[in-house]
Structure 1
Amino acid sequence: MSWYLDNVYELNKEFPYTFQRPSEEVLSWLEIGDLVKLIFVANEAEEGEFGAERMWVEITEIDGSRFTGTLNNEPYSLPIEVGERVSFGYENICDTEYEDPHIDDKDIYFDTLVTVSNDVLERKEFNFMLRDNSTEDGDSGWAILSGYEEEDFLSDLENFQIIAVAVILNMDDSILEFLEKPPLCAYERNDKGEFAEIEDYDWEGYFEE
């Protein structure tokens, strides 16, 4: 089993609300002897083994934008040993020991919980959302649906999960402007692909269900 180092720039681009990378300022502080965290990914992971591991590497050489270091912690299953030399670049560094003053404060998107249908997570698409009154701490009251769910699907609670809204924002962050809208409200994606409020939503029928 071989491995490669993941590209954090690409991960941040794909998952901007759930994956943050160090700022350019923090990266400029790096010196020999510092520890940086890299994501080691197995080319072909065996069943039951970790497909990727985040591990600390101690910098031993710096040549412009390229680094050489030694693995500083024990892997679970990847074929690499503590002390083994690793070559990497800025694009592979997912964390450092330094406190980053430029990391966006997106904790609110992890702390804000929404109810989402499994169909949304499978399709990676949602077209309907409504906000009911919150009943539990951390629950925003938002429910997110793909719009393709059948009645039988909607009536089964096993088809829903409570997750951080950050996951939903990775799919479409155009809803940011609606998240603070007080309950009761409902939105649907229109023919232009944009979310618009449903002014005459049947709340009486919703509460009778």
Structure 2
Amino acid sequence: MSWELDNVYDRNKEAPYTFYIPSKQVIDLLDIGDIVKLIFLGESEKDGLAGERMWVEITERNGEDFKGLLTNEPYDLKDLKVGQEVLFKIEHICDTEYEDPSSSEWDYYFDTKIMVSKDVLDRREFNFMLRDNPNNEHDSGWTVLSGYEEDDFLSNSENFQPISIGAILNIDNSILSIIDEKPLCAFERNKEGLFEEIDDYDWDSYLNG
């Protein structure tokens, strides 16, 4: 067989705030006739973890084991066809047609934006955070820096980009304890690796610079 099903729990462990998996409450509802989405990986995709997301109609359930019929026409996987029987387990289900009670939490992780320097994304590390007043409903107001940026880098707006707050939590979720701090505030990572507030941050220079 030239394809296999991806384990969505493994993907979620790698990106717990941006890779959605259905809640147990939704999984428990699944029964014959329901439609679920699985990720099919081809030979060339198993390392890159891209794959094709396709819907499967459940025809049999035995606890955590399922049988179903593929309802999509595969784009690139030649060994699969519409109507083909697929055997799968709970860990292969990446989405369902049910409304998930936990969806509001996921919406926050996906939709709320945080401004980061590209050096943070390159290093997968950040050591400084400040929160200004948000510009809109999806703007958190937070800006995140690695702490290694030079002045020339910081003065160029092209070196910054907005990303979902979930993506920054994937790097370090210890900031969950401060993410709801009200503007204006600034935090820096200390020698113990913990973020502590900068009480004397120069907000006048920041806001009027």
- CA contact under 8 A between 1:36 and 1:57: conserved in structure 2? yes
Q: Matched residues in 2 for 1:8 and 1:124: separation? A: 23
Q: Matched residues in 1 for 2:100 and 2:39: separation? A: 19
Q: Aligned AA for 1:109?
A: Y
Give aligned-pair identity as a percent: 59
Q: Provide Cα deviations, 1:50-70, integer angstroms capped at 9, x if missing partner.
A: 932211011223344222222
| Corresponding residue of 1:51 | 50
CA change 1:134–1:29 in 2 (3 A) is closer
Q: Secondary structure at the match of 1:200?
A: coil
Cα RMSD, aligned residues only: 2.3
Q: Aligned AA for 1:112?
A: T
- CA contact under 8 A between 1:38 and 1:55: conserved in structure 2? yes
Q: Matched residues in 2 for 1:7 and 1:34: separation? A: 20
Q: Secondary structure at the match of 2:105?
A: coil
C-alpha deviation, 1:103, in angstroms: 5.1
C-alpha deviation, 1:29, in angstroms: 2.8
Scaled by the length of structure 2, what TM-score is found? Answer: 0.86
CA change 1:23–1:208 in 2 (3 A) is closer
Q: Aligned AA for 2:53?
A: R
- CA contact under 8 A between 1:61 and 1:68: conserved in structure 2? yes
- CA contact under 8 A between 2:35 and 2:56: conserved in structure 1? yes
**Structure 2: stretches of 5+ with no match in the other structure:** none
* 1:60 partnered with 2:59: yes
C-alpha deviation, 1:135, in angstroms: 3.3
Q: Matched residues in 2 for 1:186 and 1:24: separation? A: 37
- CA contact under 8 A between 1:2 and 1:44: conserved in structure 2? no
Q: Aligned AA for 1:40?
A: F
Q: Matched residues in 2 for 1:73 and 1:125: separation? A: 40
CA change 1:24–1:194 in 2 (3 A) is same
Q: Matched residues in 2 for 1:65 and 1:198: separation? A: 50
C-alpha deviation, 1:5, in angstroms: 1.2
Q: Matched residues in 2 for 1:146 and 1:170: separation? A: 15
| Corresponding residue of 1:144 | 144
Q: Secondary structure at the match of 1:19?
A: coil
Q: Matched residues in 2 for 1:106 and 1:25: separation? A: 15
| Corresponding residue of 2:114 | 114
Scaled by the length of structure 1, what TM-score is found? Answer: 0.86
**Structure 1: stretches of 5+ with no match in the other structure:** none
